[in-house]
């Protein structure tokens, strides 16, 4: 397989309304060295038939349809990693976006020549249900890294592309993620890659149209109602449960010593309240991309909301 080959991993469920648009945008990529694996979680609409018709119009073997685990989108994406051969890059793909023609080409160019694991992601153009643009996704200004990844998901899964070294790390880590019940495959992937010291690339150029509608797994996060909802989850203890599951998935991995030390500080932050929790947060160096976000994290640690 060519060094620039990208295996696209798409998880589907009841995706018929918008799947054709997404498949057409994949076919229109300027980087043509790709294959597509679609894992369907038991759709009862026309999803499978749409994929089969698309596959029939492509070169033999370029598009494969497999049965998903029927355990939710995160588990479906984790299981898809098993299908990537050792020498290929991989890209996560949602069923209802529209890729811009340069999406894969920019990712391949950014990852080209890197000797170790690397994880690429990009901004998106947020749209309504009819793909009318609303706003670009935010641009992250603080550094990406493990201390950020443990408390914030910044590398959007629908834009993420991994070189072959990063794919190998994810494949090794996926069984532990399944056992721990992580909530988000893209947040977990950011943590695994960052925890192993991978090169992290966040492209300021948008790579796709990100369709917002009632069934979106994660909606727009830069509006006041969305920020308020996130704060409620933070203070209600739900966020602490997510952090614990993520940490449990990472503990069995052979991480560098500095990453293991950071994980230990996270554990102390989650198990403490008051000044001890704040001390653990400071020693771990945990931060979110905005000052209000980091302040909200500190407040939840101080009050014991992360212990729930």
**CATH classification at residue 50:** 3.90.550.10
Asked whether residue 236 falls in the same domain as residue 194, the answer is no
Asked whether residue 46 falls in the same domain as residue 145, the answer is yes
Asked whether residue 125 falls in the same domain as residue 272, the answer is no
Residue 1's pLDDT is what? Answer: 60
Residue 304 has pLDDT above 60, yes or no: yes
Q: CA Rg, the chain, in Å?
A: 19
d(CA 116, CA 122): 20
Asked whether residue 37 falls in the same domain as residue 151, the answer is yes
Asked whether residue 11 falls in the same domain as residue 109, the answer is yes
Is residue 284, in this structure, part of any structural domain at all? yes
Contact yes or no for 230/149 (Cβ under 8 A): no
d(CA 210, CA 261): 36
d(CA 40, CA 13): 6
Burial of 243 (0-12, 13-18, 19+ CB in 10 A): buried
Contact yes or no for 98/22 (Cβ under 8 A): yes
Asked whether residue 282 falls in the same domain as residue 186, the answer is no
Asked whether residue 32 falls in the same domain as residue 144, the answer is yes
The pLDDT confidence band at residue 236, using thresholds 50, 70 and 90, is low
Asked whether residue 134 falls in the same domain as residue 258, the answer is no
Asked whether residue 157 falls in the same domain as residue 281, the answer is no
Domain end point (choices 188, 211, 234): 211
HSE-CB for 211 with a 13 A CA cutoff: 21
Asked whether residue 242 falls in the same domain as residue 175, the answer is no
DSSP letters spanning 2-45: -TT-EEEEEEESS-HHHHHHHHHHHHT-S---EEEEEEE----S
The pLDDT confidence band at residue 218, using thresholds 50, 70 and 90, is very low
- pTM equals 0.93
Query: What average pLDDT does this structure show over 179-185?
Result: 98
Asked whether residue 10 falls in the same domain as residue 48, the answer is yes
pLDDT, averaged across the chain: 94
Overall domain count for the chain: 2
Query: What average pLDDT does this structure show over 191-203?
Result: 99
Q: Which domain holds residue 299?
A: 224-307
């Amino acid at each position: 397989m060519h060094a620039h080959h990208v295996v696209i991993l798409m998880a589907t469920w009841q995706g018929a309304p918008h799947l054709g648009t997404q498949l057409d945008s994949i076919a229109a990529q300027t980087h043509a060295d790709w294959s597509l694996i679609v894992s369907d979680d038991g759709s009862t609409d026309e999803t499978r038939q749409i994929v089969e018709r698309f596959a029939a119009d492509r070169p033999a073997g370029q598009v494969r349809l497999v049965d998903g685990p029927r355990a939710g989108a995160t588990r479906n994406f984790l299981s898809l990693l098993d299908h990537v051969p050792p020498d290929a890059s991989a890209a996560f793909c949602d069923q209802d976006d529209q890729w811009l023609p340069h999406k894969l080409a920019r990712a391949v160019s950014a990852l080209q020549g890197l000797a170790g694991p690397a994880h690429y992601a990009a901004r998106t153009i947020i749209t309504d249900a009819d793909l009318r643009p609303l706003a670009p996704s935010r641009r992250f200004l603080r550094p990406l890294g493990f201390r950020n990844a443990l408390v914030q998901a910044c590398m959007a899964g629908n834009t993420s592309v991994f070189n072959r070294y990063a794919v190998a790390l994810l494949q090794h880590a996926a069984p532990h993620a399944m056992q721990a019940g992580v909530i988000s495959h893209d947040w977990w992937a950011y943590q695994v890659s960052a925890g192993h010291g991978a090169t992290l690339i966040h492209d300021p150029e948008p790579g796709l149209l990100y369709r917002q509608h009632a069934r979106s797994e994660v909606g727009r996060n830069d509006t006041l109602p969305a920020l308020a909802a996130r704060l409620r989850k933070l203070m209600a203890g739900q966020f602490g449960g997510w952090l614990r599951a993520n940490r449990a998935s990472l503990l069995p991995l052979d991480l560098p010593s500095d990453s293991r030390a950071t994980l230990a500080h996270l554990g102390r932050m989650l198990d403490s309240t008051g000044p001890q929790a704040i001390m653990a947060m400071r020693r771990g160096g945990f931060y979110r991309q905005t000052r209000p976000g980091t302040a909200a994290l500190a407040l939840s640690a101080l009050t014991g909301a992360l212990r729930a």
